[in-house]
Structure 1
Amino acid sequence: MSAAPPAAAHAERRPRDTAEARTAAYLDSIRADPRLLRDFFLRLPKGGDLHNHLFGAVRTEYLIKLAGEDGLCIDTATLTAVVPPCGPGTRPAADARADRGFREAIVRAWSMQDFPPDQSGHDHFFATFDKFALVASLNQGKVLAEVADSVAVQHQFYLETMVNPASDGAERLGDEVGWDPDLAALHARLLAGGRLDRLVADARKETDAVDAEFRTAARCRTERPRPGCRLTARRIYQAFRGESPERVFTELALGMRLAERDSRFVAVNLVQPEDWDSSLRNYTLQMRMVRYLRTVYPRAYVTLHAGELRPGLVKPEDLRFHIAQAVDIAGAERIGHGVDLVHEDDWQRTAATMAARQIAVEVPFTSNAQILGVRGAEHPFDTYRAYGVPVVLATDDPGVSRIDISHEYQYAAETYGLSYPELKDLARASLQYAFLPGRSLWQGNPTRDGYRPAEVCAGQLPGAGRAPGAECRRLLATSPKATVQWRQEAAFASFENYFG
């Protein structure tokens, strides 16, 4: 699938210092040992997770535990969590504590555990969310604490997770205002009488409650805080692309207004299967919605699921334009999945545009394999890198997929023969292209030119044997992005001392 780009191909980055070189040599020496590889990738600093759905990220076993504690019931036909009392056709979720067969059946229904690899996982994957949605929605702060822990213990420092507070209110407001193809007029109707602002207030209030529950569950204000308290986390508002145009527009407007008014939110995204009839029918319209709303909310970032498709899943004509329109019409700063790249019209131009604008692609390998059956050489991972498109590894829904970010990095190393310096730069990219405010620790276009420290911090990175000077310290004090990047560089120095 990979094709030679018009520019020079991506070149393997060579180790630049002795510690890095020794660590690279150690990785090469253990490539045939699964146990040592797993340990290596667990310890590897891995930047941030930029493509993460909160409800799909939490461990299935933890959701079952919460369902039991909440006194919820399980529909025995569909294995969906439902409210009590537990009448005919249901069982108490708490039964899963002692009944191993019942517990394992729920795990299989709520995740990809034991799903046959020779079958399409598309429908099963997306069906899991409705089965456990009630549990997650009742325990959002606890779920966030569990997910934050899982990210932190994987030696990541940053998380952008997708949520949708006040979405029920957004649906009602969308239904009330109805559809108007004049997007400016439609937006004005949402604002009339302060209706959209009341939704923003509701979303912030809901988020306040989630954060309070998170702090309690994570013990952040105690002497023994959980690992997730160390994590820098932000939220991306997810709008549901399969809904009516008026609902989608309302949710996008709510998310972008939130991103400009509440620092806990940074961006919007469109979720749900891209291959649904309604998603396909309204795709271009939704890109136009985002383009218009960007003129109203220019400080809100946009990352879009685009190209999460493959031949055979949709008609050929629906493979021709999704990534291109997310880039050219919606002006997305990042693309999620981007799997169907080479099936699009003039895809080389799209790839070159993404490289020139530093529009990163978020790659969750396991999700792409489970949902689309795309893996290995069929995945455009190498093509994106060859064209100089920034690539970041992500998990998508690690709870549903039954994986972690270490698994994704190990898969990349084994499948594409990546060296340690290349893996290191993938981790750096996940912070470089995060929606964190402030100047970067790196200068220029690091995907094209390599990760060179900003001039004020040149020769002063952790492990260089020189303490940062006043200007470098000033950068770290004023830039949240540079601060997190510095934490990762310190972790790399320790990691390389351990393995090198």
Structure 2
Amino acid sequence: MAIGGHRFRAWAIYAGALLALLGGPAGAAASSVTPEARTAARFDAIVHDRAKLRLFLRAMPKGGDLHNHLAGAIYAEDFLAWAAADGLCVTTGSLPAIVAGPCDAPGKAAAQGLTTRDPALYGRAINALSMRNYQPGADGALPSGHDQFFSTFARFSAVTDGHLPAMLAAVREQAADDHVSYVETSVNPVAMYAFVKGSRDRPWDGDFAKALAGLEPGIPAFTARTRREMDTAEAEADRQQGCAAKPVRTGPCAVVLGYQAFGVRVLPPPVVFAQLVAAFALADVDPRFVGVNIVAPEDDPTALSDYAMHMRMLAFLHARYPKVKLSLHAGELALGLVPPRDLRFHIRDAVEVAGASRIGHGVDIVHEDGAQALLDRMANDGIAVEINLTSNDLILGVKGADHPLTLYRQAGVPVVLSTDDEGVSRIDMTNEYLRAAVEHGLRYADLKAMARTSLDVAFLPGEPLRGWAGGRAPACIKAGKACDAFLAKSPKAALQWKLDRDFEAFEKAQS
């Protein structure tokens, strides 16, 4: 089988280097090269050819996507299809939104048949529900990527209710296509709305213990209702994807989902607290809910003014529910978006006050007071950072050398790549790996390590096969019955083991 010119030159260079190092004939050196080394050499040979690099990276195992918002992960085309099936409408202005009927009212058009009846409106709707074709000020677009990005959620919110199974199926399908085996996605159950109802009108004096006491009687009914809700949604997602008919789960059916319930930081304090109580209580009893988060634009005036209080809320509830893990949006800010004073403490408070095990974004780390000491602590304690290259570019305008990805890596902080809102951003995980290679100079060994780290720091239940800093469970020092028994008891270890086997198959295929 002939070898292409670029690949041949890469092999020649690689073999020559081995010959110089090992002091033997080229043939003997080549025979000792591991599949991993051959794969790294191929990566180096194609790294400047983006088409070949994308093909390579798409096939590469990527472990977990740990920073994923379920609604934001759905592509606009799916939302519009569901809107059509539900008899919903699309507004006809410059920034179309999905809304309820009647659709013959002025300024509305039926979503059903829109692709053929009014393809121009259909195209504008896709643009309005995502970042597709976004240009500041063009076609009625909002003046910044930040505003366009966050405004999309309100435009498709009318169609998210009732489509949880389809959303779960869509996320699994995209993950499988991208060779992602685990997705930790943010989703609040419908049952939470009933649980927090009335919180806005309750007196609020900042007494967390008193507020919790008022909410605790409703927790058992809320968690029971949520379990039924998620059981039904997962079963329907399985039905839609034909998972029940498969003796062994493969493709989308093999993708494991973990859920993070969350508080919305732009809401009044009693509502945020009630949401966080629900999230902690749920994560404490349902292993599918693997952690708690807090979301919404960090630069919102309410989010800024209440930030310290939110961290104290999280710390209070973390003390009450010590088993529950936190992955917190912090540092999704940039100089100019907010005053410098608001860049100096958000990541630190998420770590030191709230007790976060992972940080989402962490873009403003260089502005934090005592940044080096904070980096050292994160490295020593294994507090990982979820890096979202595309959304940081679209929302904050931070990319390339301005992005702190390299700083975190040099400090020894565990770092993983994630998609954030792949539907809104119009990306996939492969795109994030490609950006890491092209914009930040990461090579195959770096990307492989980050993929493995994603499962090492994931909030999956069970004992780990290995920790983020290395080591291996004694039962699985080698394959055998003891290891099989260990893997059978631990979803986390089982996915880590599978990723290692997936990498072995991928690297063998590159030979």
Q: Indicate whether the TM-score tops 0.5.
A: yes
* 2:130/2:425 contact within 8 Å kept: yes
482, 494, 509: which one aligns with 1:471: 482
Give me the TM-score of the superposition, normalised by structure 1: 0.91
What is aligned with 2:65?
49
Matched, 1:218 2:241: yes
TM-fit CA distance, 1:63: 1.3
Code of the residue aligned with 1:336 in structure 2: it is: G
494, 499, 506: which one aligns with 1:488: 499
SS at match of 2:48: coil
What is aligned with 1:105?
124
CA distance in 1, matches of 2:33, 2:199: 57
* 1:120/1:373 contact within 8 Å kept: no
CA distance in 2, matches of 1:186, 1:257: 14
What is aligned with 2:19?
none
Larger Rg: 2
TM-fit CA distance, 1:205: 3.2
73, 88, 95: which one aligns with 2:106: 88
What is aligned with 1:317?
341
Instruction: Count residues in correspondence.
Output: 470
Q: Residue 452 and residue 19 in structure 1: after superposition, are their counterparts in 2 closer, same or farther (change >3 A)?
A: farther
Code of the residue aligned with 2:160 in structure 1: it is: A
Matched, 1:168 2:193: yes
Q: Residue 198 and residue 455 in structure 1: after superposition, are their counterparts in 2 closer, same or farther (change >3 A)?
A: closer
Code of the residue aligned with 1:309 in structure 2: it is: L
**RMSD of aligned alpha carbons:** 1.8
What is aligned with 1:286?
310
* 2:145/2:395 contact within 8 Å kept: yes
SS at match of 2:37: helix
* 2:129/2:155 contact within 8 Å kept: yes
* 1:200/1:257 contact within 8 Å kept: yes
* 1:72/1:83 contact within 8 Å kept: yes
* 2:92/2:121 contact within 8 Å kept: no
Code of the residue aligned with 2:241 in structure 1: it is: A
Q: Which moved more, 1:209-218 or 1:321-330?
A: 209-218
What is aligned with 1:24?
40
295, 305, 308: which one aligns with 1:271: 295
* 1:177/1:189 contact within 8 Å kept: no
SS at match of 2:112: helix
209, 226, 237: which one aligns with 1:203: 226
Give me the TM-score of the superposition, normalised by structure 2: 0.89
40, 58, 61: which one aligns with 2:77: 61
SS at match of 1:138: coil
Deviations 1:402-447 (A, max 9, x none): 000001011101112112111100000110000012222225x52x
Q: Residue 152 and residue 234 in structure 1: after superposition, are their counterparts in 2 closer, same or farther (change >3 A)?
A: same
Deviations 1:103-151 (A, max 9, x none): 1101100000011289630000000001111112221111110111101
SS at match of 1:50: strand
CA distance in 2, matches of 1:268, 1:182: 21
TM-fit CA distance, 1:60: 1.5
Code of the residue aligned with 1:477 in structure 2: it is: A
Q: Which moved more, 1:470-479 or 1:254-263?
A: 470-479
TM-fit CA distance, 1:168: 2.2
Matched, 1:189 2:214: yes
* 1:149/1:226 contact within 8 Å kept: no
CA distance in 2, matches of 1:149, 1:52: 14
Deviations 1:212-252 (A, max 9, x none): 33122222212597832111111100210000110001000
116, 134, 155: which one aligns with 1:115: 134
What is aligned with 1:400?
424
281, 290, 295: which one aligns with 1:257: 281
* 1:173/1:250 contact within 8 Å kept: no
What is aligned with 1:13?
none
* 2:89/2:98 contact within 8 Å kept: yes
CA distance in 2, matches of 1:106, 1:177: 39
Q: Which runs of 5+ in 1 are unaligned?
A: 1-15, 461-467
* 1:334/1:360 contact within 8 Å kept: yes
Q: Residue 492 and residue 117 in structure 1: after superposition, are their counterparts in 2 closer, same or farther (change >3 A)?
A: farther
SS at match of 2:206: coil
* 2:292/2:326 contact within 8 Å kept: yes
Q: Which runs of 5+ in 2 are unaligned?
A: 1-31, 138-142
CA distance in 1, matches of 2:260, 2:361: 16
Code of the residue aligned with 2:317 in structure 1: it is: L
CA distance in 2, matches of 1:82, 1:419: 46
Q: List 4+ stretches of structure 1 deviating above 4 A.
A: 223-226
Higher RCO (CA 8 Å, separation ≥ 6 residues): 1
